[in-house]
Structure 1
Amino acid sequence: MLVAAVVSLCAAVVTAALGVWSLTRRPSTDYVQQVLRAVAPTQLAAAVMLGAGGVVALSAPSSTGAMILIVCVAGALGTVAAGCWQSAKAVTRENARQAASAGTGGCGSACGSCTLTCGS
């Protein structure tokens, strides 16, 4: 149990460091970099969960500590996965918007006000 708690605490430190590093970087004009920066709060939340699980695993009896550690690790993984999923959806939506804008001669989805002929 001691090894699992220490690994969880180390993972919490690394995850928090990556989240803080993402937040302290200069904002970029690149959309993908902006989305990666948006995942940073999710990383910080996962770091808190991993840290809490590691502390409880160190201080609680082994059966309780193991269960809490499993729940905290699963919660942290789920939180990061949900944040990455939302970010991937945002990137896909933005890329589709840019492709539609390029394919219609710059009109985007405003066909009612567009004076260009795009064939649709």
Structure 2
Amino acid sequence: MLVAAILCLCAAVATAASGIWSLRRRPSTDFVQQVLRALAPTQLAAAAMLAVGGAVALAARESTQSQLAAVILGVCVLGAIGTVAAGCWQNAKVVTLQNARQAAAKSTGGCGSACGSCTLTCGS
């Protein structure tokens, strides 16, 4: 249980460091950088989950507590993985839609001035 707790705490520190690093960078027009920056709050939430799981696993010393700690640790790890996966999916969708709107607003060659027949999502 000690090894799992230490690994979980190290993963929490690495995830939090990655989230803080993404937040400290300037906002960019690059698609990949926008997705990474939008994922930072999700990474911080996952780091908190991993830290709680690691702390509970470290606190469990007796055999009766170790089973409960293992369950809590597993739930925290799965929750952190699920949170990051859902955050990646949602942030990629949002940034993709924003970039499509910006590209549609900038380009007039795709539909010309016939907005009634245009299939682009430019917001107008």
TM-score range, shorter chain: 0.7 to 0.9
Q: Which residue of 2 aligns with 1:83?
A: 87
**Matched ranges for 1:64-83 at <5 A:** 64-83=68-87
Residues 103, 58 of structure 1: alpha-carbon distance in 2 compared, 3 angstrom cutoff: same
Same amino acid, percent of matched pairs: 74
Verify the 8 A CA contact 1:97 1:108 in the aligned structure 2.
Answer: no
Verify the 8 A CA contact 1:100 1:108 in the aligned structure 2.
Answer: no
User: What are structure 1's unaligned runs of at least 5 residues?
Assistant: 115-120
Displacement, 1:52? 0.2
Q: Which residue of 2 aligns with 1:59?
A: 59
Q: Which residue of 1 aligns with 2:45?
A: 45
Mapped partners of 1:82, 1:102: distance in 2? 30
Mapped partners of 1:92, 1:17: distance in 2? 26
User: CA offsets, 1:2-27, max 9 Å, x none?
Assistant: 10000000000000000000001111
Count of aligned positions: 113
Verify the 8 A CA contact 1:39 1:84 in the aligned structure 2.
Answer: yes
User: What are structure 2's unaligned runs of at least 5 residues?
Assistant: 119-124
Q: Secondary structure at the match of 2:34?
A: helix
**Matched ranges for 1:1-120 at <5 A:** 1-60=1-60, 61-97=65-101, 105=109, 111-112=115-116
